[in-house]
Amino acid sequence: MSDTADHYTLVLAQIDAKISALIENPQVDYQVGGGNGTVKITASQKMDQLIRLREMIMKRITSKPEEVIETLQTDMSVFGEDLSEYIP
């Protein structure tokens, strides 16, 4: 797993797709088992988990430093000295 903003942006897109799928195709609540071994799953739990995961991913993205350097003008002297101007 890479720990970059680009990786988390891809994960965020996957989460958004799953949230969209839940909205477009609502699921019903169901219960598995009986007695003490009963497990109840609600569609709202799935949505809540995806939303919490999305919030965690958004925090990870914002915590990653991102530096973009754009070249404004490229220039070299006859001696090979870089005279380019950069915008941080």
Tens of pLDDT along 33-80? Answer: 877 888 887 878 888 999 999 999 999 888 877 666 665 667 778 888
d(CA 62, CA 23): 26
pLDDT (tens digit, 9 = 90+) per residue, 12-36?
999 999 999 988 888 778 888 877 8
> What per-residue confidence (pLDDT) applies to 17?
96
Q: What is the pTM of this model?
A: 0.59
> What per-residue confidence (pLDDT) applies to 49?
92
What domain count does the chain have?
A: 1
Q: Domain limits at 52? A: 5-87
4 compared with 66, residue with greater pLDDT: 4
Query: 9 to each of 22, 57, 58, how far by Cα in Å?
Result: 20, 8, 8
Comparing CA positions, the residue from 2, 4, 16 lying closest to residue 63 is 4
Per the DSSP assignment, residues forming a β-bridge with 26 are: none
